[in-house]
Amino acid sequence: METFWFIIIAIVLAVFFILDGYDFGAGIIHLFLAKTENDKELIAKSAGLFWDSNEVWLVAAGGMLFMAFPTFYASVFSGFYLPLIIVLWLIIFRAIGLEFRGQFHFQMWKDIWDKSFGVSSLLLALFFGIALGNIVRGVNLGGVENGVSIYEGHYFFLPLWDSSFSPLSETPGIIDWFTIIIGLISVVTLAIHGANWIILKTNSSINGNLKNVIFKMNIALAALTLFSLAVWKTVSPNSLDNFAHKPYLLIFPIIYLTGLVGLFFIKKLKKDIHGFVLSSLLILGGITSSLASLFPVILPSVNSINGPLTIYNTASSEYGLSVALNWGIIGFILLFVYMIIQKRLMGGKVDKMDYGH
């Protein structure tokens, strides 16, 4: 049952980053490439019509974590308190940036909320990548200092950064040079995804140039991926052992490589949906590969005093997991019905759809 819930939550998180990821990416493209008012309005509309329904998946993932792995939920939400508050504020400012820009037709008003949308999207992509970097790197479980735990073994608290700024520190912070690398990969990946979404959903004047931008960003992503793998082996020498011991897990890196290699042919793709599918494979493969490399661990420990958190030592009781399954089925039905109706109503290009007026 623990493995079942681990897989379900992984799927829900991947769906969230595929769906809300194009909103983050659209915000990044909006910040750097949208110059005319028409392009700014179209790109904001391509995210604004969908962001609220997409974030339902994040709420669902949080609820499932609480039901299935309450100890992990409690540990992470206390240990990552500072970045979670930052993410909360960024989500708020991204949302009001989208919702407020069209309320008044004053250029200064629009410029303020355009920057709110763009900067918040960029920082959200960065912080979500940094969060993934923390998960694969591990944390100081128990808050060990001088060989003694100052908390219970499954709790921790991280400062934003440690004075050494190193992932190899005994007391690493949330931000270090390793997590920054993963954060940059997240920013580039979601920018590519957002660019493909803009091409798919709008007739923006920058669409013709976006394929060139995607191609260049994909080169940067390939270089960052190779570099991050080398660095990851330095930070965690056993990081890829799962793929050697369980070869079937290689399907997840293959999914990532399929998206990465396919996007080098972005200029030759005939249908806009193909580019979006390839960038979705990037996100799906990246998240699932990271989780598969850790399984059954869900949060490694950087000290030898307290062991890692796993799906087994953080899970609810068998009864709790069975109850969670019953409510989870109902929740999934509601979630899928909501998503299908919304996507059908918003099918096709969004250029002539009304939003923000």
pLDDT digits (tens, 9 = 90+) for 231-266: 998 898 888 899 999 999 999 999 999 999 999 999
The residues that bridge with 297 in the sheet, in sequence order, are 310
The two tokens of residue 65 are: 């974590």
Q: What is the pTM of this model?
A: 0.94
The total number of structural domains in the chain stands at: 1
352, part of any domain: no
- Residue 167: φ, ψ to 5°: -75, -10
pLDDT digits (tens, 9 = 90+) for 258-298: 999 999 999 999 899 999 999 999 999 999 999 999 999 99
Spatial distance between the Cα atoms of 167 and 169, rounded to a whole number of angstroms: 6
357, part of any domain: no
pLDDT digits (tens, 9 = 90+) for 305-314: 999 999 999 9
- End-to-end Cα separation, the chain, in angstroms: 48
- Domain of 8? 2-345
The two tokens of residue 50 are: 């969908």
Residue 61 has pLDDT above 60, yes or no: yes
Half-sphere exposure of 246 (CA within 13 A, CB side): 12
244, part of any domain: yes
306, part of any domain: yes
290, part of any domain: yes
Closest to 335 (Cα-Cα) out of 19, 4, 45 = 19
Helices 2-32 and 318-345, axial angle in degrees (round to 10)? 30
355, part of any domain: no
3-state helix/strand/coil string of 132-197: HHHHHHCECCCCCECCECCCCCCCCCCCCCCCCCCCCCCCCCCCCHHHHHHHHHHHHHHHHHHHHH
